[in-house]
Structure 1
């Protein structure tokens, strides 16, 4: 069962999303909140797999809440907003979020997003992720050197795995490129995430660009 916490200052939005998600046999909404601090408390109380956080909330907003949730818990975060300006996407990814959704998302896409993120995958499509993160690292470089220093802990195969992750390849595509099994790729991916202290494939893509394993085009 995928456990979810919903945080949005609009009660109708929370209720609508909760009804959609609770109708799924494999998803349960275990907590709700109307501002960032309450969202952090709900995550601490319920230990959900996924937190859906509205970016704009009174008091502590969703970005600040995401920073705490991503830094201090195992919960994966999907950001919600009625706005699609790039800065919100950038800030959400740098906060550690695994995904980003507009509030007018279709019912099926909302459910799919929760399932995908709960499995540890990136919510954004690979081509969108590559383009977005290349732009992030080109125009808003942050802490690249610190991440680069940590690459020394990776083996050559793990570095290659990170490079291919940065290009948006699936496990099957990475396996074909490296001429290894998908099981081996999963092991490499797990090692990369653990050694670099990053949460998921989205953060791995950011690391691949920040460390210049992939040059922004």
Structure 2
């Protein structure tokens, strides 16, 4: 079964180039390319789309707004493709339900792997983008701004390491507990906060805000 994808970007050169690249991989089927978020939303509501690649800056409806509505109204998973010029949109896109935030200058193989990862239920956040979030918040290192009374000491430890960009495997090595146990802790954190994935946990840990 092929992963059904649409591409939304107001730059026709970029979206058509991306379509050509993705069509070279047998696991993808590019259903459509569109000019803005409004067109992306309309298409996702009428068709079964697995992953929507969304530019941030688009006319009529930008990628951040489209992410929110696509997440609320369809089963499509939004994946933001961006440039460093879009830093101010990162937090809003993640809060709105983006399943990934990826730079356009990545190699085709990395974009392919990101789409597959998002399709399989994972969240893709490039470390360099997470660093941008921290820089925008004025944080030199992760510092908790959450209500610590809501969480156990171990949950706070795990949230801190997630905010540093560590994977479950890396956290496992550092805390000497199994990856399965870490997954259970993360589920508990998500349940207490109402968040959906680990990237939102990182942002919550840094900002103390869930929305």
Q: What TM-score range do you get, normalising by the shorter chain?
A: 0.7 to 0.9
Residues 140-187 of structure 1 deviation map (CA, whole Å, 9 limit, x = unaligned):
xxxx98xx46972x5544333222211211111111223221122223
Structure-2 residue corresponding to 1:99: 101
Q: Could you tell me how far 1:65 is from its partner in structure 2?
A: 1.0
CA contact (8 A) 1:2 1:27 kept: yes
Q: Which runs of 5+ in 1 are unaligned?
A: 213-217
Q: Distance in 1 between matches of 2:118 and 2:73?
A: 18
SS at 1:84's partner residue?
A: helix
Q: Which runs of 5 or more structure 2 residues have no equivalent in the other structure?
A: none
Does 2:180 match 1:179?
no
Structure 2 CA distance for aligned equivalents of residues 30 and 195 of structure 1: 38
Structure 1 contact 121–200 (Cα < 8 Å) conserved? yes
**Per-residue deviation, 1:53:** 0.8
Q: Which position in structure 1 is the counterpart of 2:15?
A: 14
Say whether 1:137 aligns with 2:172: no
Once the two structures are superposed, the pairs formed by residues 22-41 of structure 1 within 5 Å of their partners are 22-41=23-42
Quickly say closer, same or farther: Cα 1:138–1:2, change in 2 above 3 A: same
Q: Match for residue 193 of structure 1?
A: 190
RMSD: 3.2
CA distance in 1 between partners of 2:181 and 2:124 (Å): 20
- TM-score, reference length from structure 2: 0.76
Q: TM-score, normalised by structure 1?
A: 0.74
Describe how 1:1-217 pairs up with structure 2 within 5 A.
1-81=2-82, 84-97=85-98, 98-102=100-104, 104-119=105-120, 120-125=122-127, 128-138=128-138, 148=146, 152=150, 154-211=151-208
User: Is the contact made by 1:116 and 1:123 (CA closer than 8 Å) also made in structure 2?
Assistant: no
Separation in 2, partners of 1:13, 1:177: 41
Structure 1 residues 81 and 179: alpha-carbon distance in aligned structure 2, compared to 1, 3 A threshold: closer
